[in-house]
Amino acid sequence: MTNPTASVATPDQPAPTPGRGIRRIRVPQKLRNVELFLVIFVCAVNALAVVLVQFGALGYADGTVVTLGAGLSILVFGMHIALRFVATNADPFILPIAALLNGIGIAMIYRIDIAENLTGWESTAVRQVVWSGIAIALAIVVVVVIRNHRVLQRYTYLAMLIAAILLLLPMLPVIGQEIYGARVWIHVGAFSFQPGEVAKIALAVFFAGYLVSRRDSLSMVGTKVLGMRFPRARDLGPILLLWAMSMAIIIFQRDLGTALLYFGLFVVMIYVATGRASWVVLGVGLFLAGAVIAGQVLVYVNDRFTNWLDAFNPEIYDATGGSYQLVQGLFGLANGGLIGTGLGEGRPDITPLAQSDYIIASLGEELGLAGLFAILALYLLFISRGLRISFAGQDDFGRLLGVGLSFTVALQCFIVIGGVTRVIPLTGLTTPFLAAGGSSLVANWIIVALLLRLSDTVRNQPRLVI
Amino acid sequence: MSELTLLILQLAFLALLWVFIFIVVYTMRSDLFGQRVRKLKDAAAGPAPASGPAMAGAAAAGAAAGAARPAGAAAAGAPTTPPPGTPKVPTFIPAPGTELSGPPRASTANAGRLVITSGPKSGTDIPLGTEPLTIGRSTDSSVVIRDDYTSTHHARLMVWGEEWVIQDLDSTNGTFLDGQRVTAPVHVPLNTPIRIGATTFELRR
């Protein structure tokens, strides 16, 4: 997107010394200026969203736009300024896209708050802004502290340990907490957190470090069956271990979505590291087998399948834990139509959990198909930037890490949006950046920080242009 | 606020979302569609005559390097002095009697620079570290070569166990090491020309 020859011709660029022909192409803050423009645009769109919610739902606008809109804007500008100093060459699109998704999420959560008459600290939107603040502050810390992503490779096994501890925390008796049947929260004082969200980053670091060192044995040897080279039995250890872990999450934490997310992450990373489709075949086969068995044995998994396949059956619709929520979400989407009811003018609050798990249905109702596709396009751009950064990466660890981090966002979107739109059975996961929930925001903003750091390292190589 | 104003504002909001998406896509278009091809001013700088002096230079430099270290260093330094654009003439004479049994493989210990020996930027060099170098037309390559013959991601120079290896990234027009097309990753000998499009370069001390 930058034109190196143009930058050479700029007058502030010193002419290359004749003796040594090294030409270092520096594009002074050009990428950051693009980012600044996009960030200003995004902040205006976010503020407009809050104002429209107020006009639509209340009929007047007051000072709330300052607390909700400006709160996020200041933090995003803070991150932008931090990038000007520590990651000059980072990708200019990731921060604005994440900020826009976060802002649309806050506006929609605020809309649900109005419908439910929540104000002050009761208001989920205010808490979401505070969590965004914490998340972006942590992202700035990550960008400033981790100056080179390769240091993460040193902590491969430490990352595994951290992931394991984070996953086991909700199982502890005192701090662990069970909400809606899933035991994935920890609760300390007034503060609740879903450690599994952060564990996915630690797992991505661990998988990247582990696969970089082991991929030769995982990719080179094996026997050919039906034109596909399958790995040796002794190399199946890691995938079976991960599969066992996912099954343990399904059985003990009763959380289908997280299990699918972790296992999918591992399968994709091993596929990218080895380039062998047999790993995908094995992984998908294992997971489907596990899901079918779990559907037969575990009641809550079986309920999810029934709700999915037979959602419009009145008996299932009326049953406790039935398909009421799913069908209400679909009704909301249908009510939205092509351009939506308009922000603040629909009834998204009828759906339970309209501000977290079902925020996509709420947005679909008020922004319509056009708005929902815009949001999906934003995710597409975000993920394509992530994959692009990994593709351009110079070292294998960074490439794998970039693929893993972008893919977690992609897979999470698919699991949640697919669940809400009845493409796959509904599983409880948060929509990245949009849904109300602190742990999800923290995890996704850290992913943003890591991708920005990776992209800065990629572009910061000495370059010669011919 | 009237219904109509609100409706127009709501539609404007949707339009703004899409405007943002299109601005982003427009700004990243070179990443999506590749860098624009730059036509070379001089067709004579094409691949055909490029290999001649480069080969001679390589052979001479290799021989000189084998004979005596200071001579080798001087010879390697020579091509960097002429300003880009002037025809390159080997300014050194190969030491007599030295056999070309093949120059040593370039490793991180003995290769310090990548020198462009022919093409539009002939004479420039870049220092080599231990990090891999990507070569191609895309702006995120370490060495960006923008001519008709280069693919977006053309080739990669990387270190395999201390030694430099060149890998062709399935390019359209190929990567040539000493005249041979590179199909699998191969070790790069010192002072041996690697040709990509209209550009030839060597790894030198």
pLDDT digits (tens, 9 = 90+) for A338-359: 988 888 888 888 888 888 888 9
Does B142 contact A370 at a Cβ distance shorter than 8 Å?
no
* Torsion angle of the four alpha carbons A152, A155, A157, A162, in this order, in degrees rounded to the nearest 10: -90
Facing residue for B142 by CB, picked from A3, A42, A463: A463
Neighboring chain B residues of A45 at a CB cutoff of 8 Å:
13, 16-17, 20
- Is the separation of the CB atoms in A452 and A94 below 8 Å? yes
Q: What type of residue is A89?
A: N
* Torsion angle of the four alpha carbons A285, A288, A292, A294, in this order, in degrees rounded to the nearest 10: 110
Q: Which two tokens stand for residue B153?
A: 């991601």
pLDDT in tens, B158-192: 888 888 899 998 888 889 988 888 888 898 888 88
**Residue B37 and residue B32: Cα distance in Å, rounded?**
14
**Residue A115 and residue B70: Cα distance in Å, rounded?**
83
From the number of C-beta atoms within 10 Å of its C-beta (0-12, 13-18, 19+), residue A359 rates as buried
β-partners of residue B115 are B125, B202
Indicate the pairing of strand B133-136 with strand B143-144: parallel
Neighboring chain A residues of B121 at a CB cutoff of 8 Å:
21, 464, 466
pLDDT in tens, A394-450: 788 898 999 999 999 999 999 999 999 999 888 878 899 998 888 899 999 999 999
**Residue A339 and residue A318: Cα distance in Å, rounded?**
30
Q: Which two tokens stand for residue A97?
A: 């896209």
Does B146 contact A466 at a Cβ distance shorter than 8 Å?
yes
Does B24 contact A381 at a Cβ distance shorter than 8 Å?
yes
**Residue B124 and residue A464: Cα distance in Å, rounded?**
9
Phi then psi for residue A184, to 5 deg, are: -125, 10
Q: What pLDDT is stored for residue A287 in this prediction?
A: 87
In the predicted structure, residue B140 carries a pLDDT above the cut 90: no
**Residue A410 and residue B111: Cα distance in Å, rounded?**
42
Q: Is the dihedral of CA A176, A179, A185, A189 positive or negative?
A: negative
Q: Which two tokens stand for residue A255?
A: 């959380």
- Is the separation of the CB atoms in A394 and B131 below 8 Å? yes
Sheet holding B194-196, edge to edge: B125-127, B113-118, B199-204, B194-196, B175-177, B180-181
Q: Which two tokens stand for residue A258?
A: 């997280």
Neighboring chain A residues of B123 at a CB cutoff of 8 Å:
21
Q: What pLDDT is stored for residue A227 in this prediction?
A: 64
Taking residues A241-270, report their average pLDDT.
Answer: 84
- Is the separation of the CB atoms in B24 and A381 below 8 Å? yes
In the predicted structure, residue B55 carries a pLDDT above the cut 50: no
**Residue A117 and residue A96: Cα distance in Å, rounded?**
31
Coil, helix or strand at residue B122: coil
Does A394 contact B142 at a Cβ distance shorter than 8 Å?
yes
Q: State how far Cα A235 lies from the chain centre.
A: 30
Direct distance between the N- and C-terminal alpha carbons of chain A, in angstroms, rounded to an integer = 17
**Residue B134 and residue B158: Cα distance in Å, rounded?**
8
Grade residue B50 by pLDDT with cuts at 50, 70 and 90. Answer: very low
Q: What pLDDT is stored for residue B59 in this prediction?
A: 41
Nearest CA in chain A to B147: A466
Least confident of A104-113, A370-379, B132-141: B132-141
Grade residue B11 by pLDDT with cuts at 50, 70 and 90. Answer: very high
In the predicted structure, residue A289 carries a pLDDT above the cut 70: yes
Q: Where are the alpha helices (DSSP H) in chain B?
A: 3-27, 29-33, 47-67, 69-77
How distant is the Cα of A394 from the closest Cα of chain B, in angstroms? 6
Q: Which H or E element spans position A4?
A: helix A4-9
Q: What is the mean pLDDT of chain B?
A: 71
Does B17 contact A2 at a Cβ distance shorter than 8 Å?
no
Does B13 contact A462 at a Cβ distance shorter than 8 Å?
no
pTM for the structure as a whole: 0.75
Taking residues A98-118, report their average pLDDT.
Answer: 91
